[in-house]
Amino acid sequence: MVPVYSGERNASVSGLVRTTSTLVGENGAEVLAAVALPAALTALVGLALHHKRSRASRSGGYVAWGLVGLLAAFSVLAMFSIGAFVLPVALLLAGAATLTPTGSRRLR
């Protein structure tokens, strides 16, 4: 993990000591669920849009929009923590869902 927290403390023997810590080190392993949920929803939107395009499926578009809505709701509910970072992802995925055309059905 990459250190995301840094600080300084005054040690009596060695003077000023710089410290770093990771997200998991500061908040515990539970924080991984808050990071994994948006990542999983993003991957599922990608799969739904792929299904819409490759199989000429309107249902893939509906599923993608539903997942984008869930991601947007998550970002609003978590706005004071991780939500501010998730909202741009939700907006970009909404743009992708809008711009992804439905594929054409081929006769076999």
Q: Is residue 17, in this structure, part of any structural domain at all? A: yes
Q: Is residue 107, in this structure, part of any structural domain at all? A: no
pLDDT higher for 82 or 97? 97
- Model confidence pLDDT, tens digit, residues 53-96: 999 889 999 999 999 999 999 999 999 988 999 999 999 999 99
Q: Is residue 50, in this structure, part of any structural domain at all? A: yes
Which range of residues forms the domain containing residue 69?
Answer: 5-99
Q: Is residue 20, in this structure, part of any structural domain at all? A: yes
**Average pLDDT value for the chain:** 88
Q: Is residue 106, in this structure, part of any structural domain at all? A: no
- Read off the pLDDT band of 1 (50, 70, 90): low
Q: Is residue 81, in this structure, part of any structural domain at all? A: yes
Single pTM value for the model: 0.76
Q: Is residue 55, in this structure, part of any structural domain at all? A: yes
Secondary structure element (H or E) that encloses residue 13, with its range: none
* Residues 35 and 82 sit within 8 Å (Cβ to Cβ): yes
Contacts of 103-106 with C-beta under 8 Å, sequence gap 24+, read 103/52, 103/53, 103/54, 103/55, 103/56, 103/57, 104/56, 105/56
User: How many domains does the chain fold into?
Assistant: 1
